[in-house]
Structure 1
Amino acid sequence: MKYDTAMSDLKGGRLILAAFVLALANFMVVLDMTIANVSLPHITGSLAVSPTQGTWVITSYAVAEAICVPLTGWLAGRFGAVRTFCVGLFGFTIFSILCGLSTSLEMLVFCRIGQGIFGGPIMPLSQMLLMRIFPPEKQSQAMGMWAMTTVIGPILGPILGGTISDNFSWHWIFFINIPVGLFCAFAAMRLLKTAETPTDKLKIDMGGLFLLILWIGALQLMLDLGHEYDWFNHPAISVLAITAFVGLVIFTIWELTERYPIVNVQIFRYRGFTISVLALAFGFGAFFGSIVLIPQWLQINLGYTATWAGYLTATMGFGSLLMSPIVAKLATKYDQRALACFGLMLLGFVTLMRAFWTTDADFMALALPQIIQGFAVPFFFIPLTNMALAAVLPHEIASAAGLMNFLRTIAGAIGASLVVTLWDDHSKVARSELVGNLHVEETQNTLMQTGFSAQSALGYISSIVDKEASTLSANHVFIILAMVFIFAGLIIWLCPKPKIGVSGGGHAH
């Protein structure tokens, strides 16, 4: 699976349509990572489950996708890139229908896993097929368009999710994939025939595949169940943690010695790739954790509707759209480590601003950090992607792109699980501290003098204490996330100085 250009007969309008189809397919898969975020309170209410169990809807999709992303190279080499891409789209669409028809959390999580399995290869394959259908001199612009859909997807997800959940029902956040998925699949079959890649009867590394599923599955189960089972005080969580750790060690050794590895871990021998991907994983984990936490906090504590939580989350879209092409230009002229460091430090600063949010914050106080964050995201995303891909040899770009998407997705799932756990745990601590400092009887008597009954006065005090505790806890989580951003911004300087003008993927071959 090399990024060579297929001298296909795609010209003019057909080429633009093919590029649009590839970008749209990528957009749909990325959108589905965040469309459920603001709809979680609707989904958990409708299925009668707790918010922590509700996070499974987000993480199950992310993990299934993470397992399939590194398999993309093998699938494309065995069955052909275009065929794999079209099957992925059909499978994704079918599981989207099943998600929308789900009547229990178990069914919804199972179908989200199906969505992730078929959706996983779509992201790297859309990237690779764009490189095949465009001539070398146009590939940078094609990658710019691809990056744009990757940035806009997570931003539009909350708006669409919120609007649909409030005005129709949460089931429709999955049904809207049907026309898009079918259109992209049929269009790709017609337009991309000439861009098909040669196939070969490749051996599948069954041992590697089994170990990959084992350690990622154990890790995710540990993160999702840890909160409910009081973490390492429960033997099951300890067993899962040991399984994940031992599985990862054996998997790494296996892949280093396997002749046809399912994941080419040898790519980590490049310091530029390893450090860039590490900074990207830390940054994306903190970023994704915050975009899972903010909509839930807005709805549970501030009484925002899902639609307005979506609008607020999406205020970062303007800056991201505006800065993406500018940062792509800057990356060819300046040290990309400085650009990435600036983006990560700005994200850290913005997250610190959120640590001072209060329960009576107005829309603008909440939106300002989001707007600034929009300008920071391309500075963080584009240079790190370029540096990672520019660090590897041309024939390793496909594996490197798969590994990078894999680690970013895993980091997002870990970030989401940990943030929800920290938020919930610290809320309990903050609540007991607040109650300890509160003169309940005095406050209750004061309220009863204004016409409250004894019971309703207690209820009113309790709801205020809950809101304040939840907000204090969210602020605590934001301080931790800010530290993660700053750490990622500092480690980027361990990278060797990248050559000016080399932006990965586009120029590294």
Structure 2
Amino acid sequence: MSTTVMDPPALVAPPATPRASGTAQAVADDPYKNKYLIAIAVTLAAVLELVDTSIVNVAIPHMMGTLGATLDEIAWVSTSYIIANVIVIPMSSWLSAFFGRQRYLTGSILIFVVASFFCGAATSLWGLVFWRVLQGLGGGALLSTAQTTLFEAFPPHERGIGQAIFGVGVMVGPTIGPTLGGFIVDAYAWPWIFYINVPLGLIAALMVWTYVKDAAHQVRAQTVDVLGIVLLAVAVGSLQWMLERGERYDWFESRFVTVLAITSLVAAILLVWRELTIDEPVIDFHVLKSRQLAPGVLFGSFLGVALFGSVFVLPVFLQSLHGYSAQQTGMVILPGAIASAITMAIMGRFGSKIDARLLVTFGSFMFLLSMWQMSRITLDAGQHDMFWPLIIRGVGLGCIFVPLTGASVAGIPMHKLGQATGMFNLMRQLGGSLGIATMATLLSRLTRTEKAVLTEHAGIYDPATLERVNGLTHGLIARGIDPYNAKQQALMLLDRQIGAQASVMAFSRIYLISGLLLVAALPLLLIWKTGRAVPLKADAH
């Protein structure tokens, strides 16, 4: 249960006076006057946050050399940021109401900017990890709060446009991260992947402070749910840590991973019980009683698994098997991201006229078609072979994001919108982490399985195998290598070729699993009362 608390004077707009200036009167007459400036500001902040989840990946070898860290240690640069991020996301609505949206969003961007500067200036591994934690805490506010702000910045009939602008950032941000990181590392040095946030972040902070205002409907809690915050940090932090480290420690074969799983489960149960039984919870789970939001959030988690899982394996496929650099990989992925952005722009403009269930179903099958086409790509494939599958994937995702978001929050009271978008973003983020962890594990195990099967058929008495080994041996001898070493190297080359073919087969299955998983979640949309992005309840007043 929760009690109603009156808005403090600081969050209530004073009544207009007859002597208001012309500018003030114009804003009063048109509360949506600065909607596009607000959209640019909060989307820029969200893009910076999302880019930093992936931009460090291409710089890891350079960081290891500079900071003298092992691969296991340097992984904390990514893990610490993501853990801090997912802890803050579900709290962002409560924090926004507690501090006021304008102060909270501006302050979060400034924390992100300051932490980015000190990440670049770090001279030790654990110094860098410390600042990455602060960067993640600042960045966690930039997703849910930005999305809620955009819902209110646009009039009801244009909310799809605002969500399309935000969706472009959500889809494009993770895509350009590795490309931008590769360019910066090659042209300058790894600290500049963090320094680049400083000027862009300051621009975003200035625009937010200038144009974003506190929501008149938000109510500040009179108490701080300390126990709820602690339970949230333990539950979500342990789960994210488990997902980040599970593959490395062979999952539940490790006692450490098992302890993390049990800790997360117990803390989550206590968190739900706590938040449902106090008057001023830090997370309002009551919003999940909505027949629109609950299935939408669950479908969003499936979308996170499929999207991030496929986004994770594609660069690995291109770089490990085709020898692409980070920049080349980015150029392969970029057309699909542009297709997604264009589709979302169309959905934002016209998508509200079509039932979201039809659009999401169409987008999901487009995604499946793309994954099926990707599963047929071989070692001999070039960039042109991936162009249309990735375009189709981009169109499919563009048809999903805006309609799914709009229909999921249909009918949610305006004062609970922040909690709803926070839940939506949290589950998509956790779904993404689960997708990456699951696909990484499946990729490793499927590769081993396929290699074992191929090796079994490539025995020393198999005529085709003998012919292949002899051909490789003669080729090496022709290059001046003695017969004995030529034979050994030929066998090693054959083993690598078998391994590469096994990897291709494993990637093929991963793509199909990603596509089928999203389509399998479509029955959740039958729970919806409506597929229309109807106005939020507060709009009726």
TM-score, scaled to structure 1: 0.88
Q: Deviations over 1:385-425 (max 9, x none)?
A: 01111142232112111111111111111211221222122
Pair 420,167 (structure 1): closer, same or farther in 2 beyond 3 Å:
farther
Alignment gaps of 5+ in structure 2: 17-22
Q: Deviations over 1:416-475 (max 9, x none)?
A: 122122212222222233223223683444322222523432332233233222222212
Partner of 2:229: 209
Pair 358,42 (structure 1): closer, same or farther in 2 beyond 3 Å:
farther
Q: Give, in angstroms, the shift of residue 87 of structure 1.
A: 1.6
Alignment gaps of 5+ in structure 1: none
In the alignment, does 2:176 pair up with 1:122?
A: no
Q: Give, in angstroms, the shift of residue 35 of structure 1.
A: 3.0
AA aligned to 2:534 is V
Structure 1 segment 378-417 matched on structure 2, within 5 A: 378-417=398-437
Pair 236,128 (structure 1): closer, same or farther in 2 beyond 3 Å:
closer
In the alignment, does 2:300 pair up with 1:280?
A: yes
Pair 227,360 (structure 1): closer, same or farther in 2 beyond 3 Å:
same
Q: Give, in angstroms, the shift of residue 334 of structure 1.
A: 1.8
Partner of 2:191: 171
Look up the SS of the partner of 2:245 in the other structure: helix
In the alignment, does 2:504 pair up with 1:484?
A: no
Supply the distance in 2 between the matched residues of 1:280 and 1:438 (Cα, whole angstroms): 44
Supply the distance in 2 between the matched residues of 1:310 and 1:283 (Cα, whole angstroms): 22
Look up the SS of the partner of 2:530 in the other structure: coil
Supply the distance in 2 between the matched residues of 1:358 and 1:188 (Cα, whole angstroms): 47
Structure 1 segment 217-228 matched on structure 2, within 5 A: 217-228=237-248
Partner of 2:19: none
AA aligned to 2:517 is V
Pair 261,153 (structure 1): closer, same or farther in 2 beyond 3 Å:
same
Structure 1 segment 21-420 matched on structure 2, within 5 A: 21-36=41-56, 49=70, 57-101=77-121, 108-130=128-150, 141-189=161-209, 191-192=210-211, 195=214, 200=220, 202-420=222-440
Q: Give, in angstroms, the shift of residue 108 of structure 1.
A: 4.8
AA aligned to 1:265 is F
Pair 113,359 (structure 1): closer, same or farther in 2 beyond 3 Å:
farther
AA aligned to 1:264 is D
In the alignment, does 2:513 pair up with 1:493?
A: no
Q: Deviations over 1:258-306 (max 9, x none)?
A: 2111111111111221111111110122101111111122111110011
Pair 139,439 (structure 1): closer, same or farther in 2 beyond 3 Å:
closer
Partner of 1:465: 498
AA aligned to 1:479 is L
Pair 192,327 (structure 1): closer, same or farther in 2 beyond 3 Å:
closer
Partner of 1:446: 471
Pair 4,63 (structure 1): closer, same or farther in 2 beyond 3 Å:
farther
In the alignment, does 2:534 pair up with 1:502?
A: yes
Look up the SS of the partner of 1:155 in the other structure: helix
Identity among equivalent positions (%) equals 29
Q: Deviations over 1:104-152 (max 9, x none)?
A: 7655554433222110112222334445566667655444433333333
Pair 142,334 (structure 1): closer, same or farther in 2 beyond 3 Å:
closer
Supply the distance in 2 between the matched residues of 1:386 and 1:324 (Cα, whole angstroms): 12
Supply the distance in 1 between the matched residues of 2:156 and 2:291 (Cα, whole angstroms): 27
Greater alpha carbon shift after TM alignment, 432-441 vs 228-237: 432-441
Greater alpha carbon shift after TM alignment, 317-326 vs 303-312: 317-326
- Is the 2:163–2:348 contact (alpha carbons within 8 Å) kept by the matching residues of 1? no
Q: How many residues align?
A: 506
Supply the distance in 2 between the matched residues of 1:490 and 1:280 (Cα, whole angstroms): 13
Look up the SS of the partner of 1:432 in the other structure: helix
Pair 339,24 (structure 1): closer, same or farther in 2 beyond 3 Å:
same
Supply the distance in 2 between the matched residues of 1:212 and 1:241 (Cα, whole angstroms): 14
- Is the 1:127–1:143 contact (alpha carbons within 8 Å) kept by the matching residues of 2? yes
Greater alpha carbon shift after TM alignment, 7-16 vs 165-174: 7-16
- Is the 1:90–1:182 contact (alpha carbons within 8 Å) kept by the matching residues of 2? yes
Look up the SS of the partner of 2:292 in the other structure: helix
- Is the 1:393–1:508 contact (alpha carbons within 8 Å) kept by the matching residues of 2? no
- Is the 1:331–1:501 contact (alpha carbons within 8 Å) kept by the matching residues of 2? no
- Is the 1:63–1:413 contact (alpha carbons within 8 Å) kept by the matching residues of 2? no
Select the structure of larger CA radius of gyration: 2
- Is the 2:295–2:527 contact (alpha carbons within 8 Å) kept by the matching residues of 1? yes
AA aligned to 2:448 is K
Supply the distance in 1 between the matched residues of 2:121 and 2:333 (Cα, whole angstroms): 27
- Is the 1:319–1:371 contact (alpha carbons within 8 Å) kept by the matching residues of 2? yes
Q: Deviations over 1:299-338 (max 9, x none)?
A: 1111001101011122212212221122124432221111
Supply the distance in 2 between the matched residues of 1:98 and 1:422 (Cα, whole angstroms): 37
Supply the distance in 2 between the matched residues of 1:94 and 1:324 (Cα, whole angstroms): 33
- Is the 1:93–1:182 contact (alpha carbons within 8 Å) kept by the matching residues of 2? yes
- Is the 1:59–1:416 contact (alpha carbons within 8 Å) kept by the matching residues of 2? no
Pair 345,131 (structure 1): closer, same or farther in 2 beyond 3 Å:
closer
Supply the distance in 2 between the matched residues of 1:193 and 1:342 (Cα, whole angstroms): 35
Look up the SS of the partner of 1:261 in the other structure: coil
